[in-house]
Amino acid sequence: MKVAVVLSGCGVFDGAEIHESVLTMLALVRAGAEPEFLAPDIPQAHVVNHLTGQVAAGENRNVLVESARIARGKIKDIARANPEDYAAVFFPGGFGAAKNLSDFASKGADCQIQPDVLRFAKAIADAGKPACYICIAPAMLPFVYGRGVAVTIGTDTDTAAAVTAMGGQHINCPVKEFVVDTERKVVSTPAYMLAENIAEAATGIEAAVKATLALI
């Protein structure tokens, strides 16, 4: 059972959240699924020094190349991936989901999704295959599934308001739980939008992964 895991770089502040990405992969493998990593071959929105939290002026990195760090080199350009090859898709969070896969971090409710990512996500949705969006990644859901899609990013009021403005039906959710839109086969969980440690993030992610695989 091959599933896609879409990454957005490497590092919480400018790419994929590493804990969330690894926890997702671990939960998938333990459940008997075969994860395959994908990422867009595009420049990062910017590069952040994770020691200082400051933008590294003049430094440029590529989302696919940086994502390969987490994937141990085994990763595909999402533009070349065939959605028909996968039984489900998983989107770990991290600011990369809101800076590279979309521009939600800078434009909020007026954001757009990177075209290759949107094409792939919509193909999965149109085929009726399940999807799991983690942390801030669920902010993309209204663009993929349309108005009324049930979604959670936890309990952050401002982010929830932006998701609602885009047409999502936001549902507050504790860190160790998840929300399921059964009609659309979409699962979302807050992870580090709320988690205070890796164990809390793991509980919610593992539960969300299990729920997503059950929809296949």
List residues with catalytic annotation. Answer: 135
With the C-alpha atoms ordered 162, 167, 169, 173, is the resulting torsion angle positive or negative? negative
- Exposed/middle/buried for residue 30 (C-beta within 10 Å: 0-12, 13-18, 19+): exposed
Which tokens sit at 45? Answer: 């929105």
Contact between 131 and 124 under an 8 Å Cβ cutoff? The reply is yes
Which tokens sit at 42? Answer: 């595009």
Helix (H, G, I), strand (E, B) or coil at 140: helix
Residue closest to 154 by CA, chosen among 163, 145, 166: 163
State residue 103 phi and psi, 5-degree precision.
-115, 35
**How far apart, in Å, are the Cα atoms of 96 and each of 11, 107, 183, 184?**
8, 14, 28, 24
